[in-house]
Amino acid sequence: MKRIAAISILAALLTACGQMQTTNTATAPTQPEPIYEIENIAGDLYRARSNNHYTVFLVTFDGVALADPITLDFANWLKAEIAERFDEEVKYVLYSHHHWDHASGGAAFLDTAEFVGHENMVKALQAPLPGNQIASDTNGDNRLQRNEAAGGTLANFDFLDRNGDGELTGAEINADIVMPTVTYSDYHPIYIGGWEVGMFYAGNSHSDDGTILNFGEQATGYAVDWLNVRRLPGGLAGRSAADWIDSIDRMARLPISRVVPGHGEHGLKQDLMDYRQFFVDMDAAAREAIAAGVSLEEFQENISMPAYADWGRYDTHLGINAASFYQMAAQD
């Protein structure tokens, strides 16, 4: 397996959360038309797709509770679809976390919706740079130059560079995000159309402002970037394996039978437990290698986890995960 410099891996892990979202096709005319779709998950709960990003929404007689708006273009499309298909308006926008490729676009619902997020989301949006961009700021100037950006931030650099000065600030990156009008700390219920949508703090895994949405009537949990179904994570994003397992356990304690992530396929609660086991197994392998005196490069080059070989991103992300787990375990 190809070796990758540890510092490059860490920067890539902290900047990439699946952010290959094209936010404005007008700035990238060579891009293909975006894929926008809606599918039913259970009862009146639906999943909506914007290319490789997904959100969910619950339709009731008293309006719609929507998770992440994703982008302004997509949000405007979804608003029109909800009005046409269901003759309803979005009453709540329920954020999963603050990262721009999921939280942007809320302005489409400013005329009808209340915006709810974890209290740490406000602090994150007011910071000089979003949390997942800090590691890329190699010169420490609280801005991202083009040669520092990576992943979807680099792919969308010209769109995000609002003033065209060749560098990104937090304010530019977050320009299309509507600040939450209501915040919570541990748990916050949303009541709409006689149903309850529970917002639960997800802990400190992919970010420190993550939310789990629990659609109780539909027995479905939704979470973004730290949850995958039969798909390897992008790494640990600078957190420990224990932090990620804690987030998974918080979701597992909910009375759900299915899980819907912000990327990839949705699945059943057993898929959540299988995902947890990957973290346990990879962390154990990394710690065993460290105890045996195996170097990071050797561990990354020789890692093999056949139990997960049929999972998405196994070929491309196993080495990235090996480095991430090794580095975090070495800090203990």
What is the fold, at CATH topology level, of the domain defined by 6-129+177-269?
Metallo-beta-lactamase; Chain A (3.60.15)
Q: Quick check: 244 pLDDT over 90?
A: yes
Whether the CB-CB separation of 56 and 44 falls below 8 Å is answered with: no
pTM of the model: 0.90
As a whole-number percent, the residues of the chain with pLDDT over 90 amount to 87
The contacts of residue 208 (CB under 8 Å, 6+ apart) are 120, 124, 131
Amino acid found at 84: E
> Where is average pLDDT lowest: 150-159, 213-222, 273-282?
150-159
In this structure, the number of other CB atoms found within 10 A of the CB of residue 292 comes to 9
Q: What is the pLDDT of residues 232-243, one digit of tens each?
A: 999 999 999 999
Here the contacts of 73-78 (C-beta below 8 Å, separation 24 or greater) are 73/23, 73/24, 73/25, 73/34, 73/105, 74/34, 74/36, 74/48, 74/50, 74/105, 75/105, 75/106, 75/107, 75/108, 75/109, 76/105, 76/108, 77/36, 78/36, 78/38, 78/48, 78/108
In this structure, the number of other CB atoms found within 10 A of the CB of residue 65 comes to 27
Three-class secondary structure of residue 131 per DSSP: helix
Whether the CB-CB separation of 243 and 205 falls below 8 Å is answered with: yes
pLDDT category at 332 given cuts 50, 70, 90 is confident
In this structure, the number of other CB atoms found within 10 A of the CB of residue 321 comes to 26
pLDDT category at 95 given cuts 50, 70, 90 is very high
Query: Phi-psi category of 194—alpha, beta or left, where left has phi over 0 and alpha has psi -120 to 50?
Result: left
Q: What is the pLDDT of residues 295-320, one digit of tens each?
A: 999 999 999 999 999 999 999 999 99
Q: What mean pLDDT do residues 109-121 have? A: 98
pLDDT category at 31 given cuts 50, 70, 90 is low
In this structure, the number of other CB atoms found within 10 A of the CB of residue 224 comes to 30
Whether the CB-CB separation of 279 and 85 falls below 8 Å is answered with: no
Structure tokens at 67: 């998770």
- pLDDT, position 131: 87
Q: What is the pLDDT of residues 32-74, one digit of tens each?
A: 789 999 999 999 999 999 999 999 999 999 999 999 999 999 9
Q: How far apart are CA 237 and CA 217, in angstroms?
A: 33
3-state secondary structure 269-299: HHHHHHHHHHHHHHHHHHHHHHHCCCCHHHH
Domain boundaries, the chain: 6-129+177-269
Q: What mean pLDDT do residues 96-123 have? A: 98
Whether the CB-CB separation of 202 and 226 falls below 8 Å is answered with: yes
- pLDDT, position 5: 35
Q: What is the pLDDT of residues 249-288, one digit of tens each?
A: 999 999 999 999 999 999 999 999 999 999 999 999 999 9
- pLDDT, position 270: 98
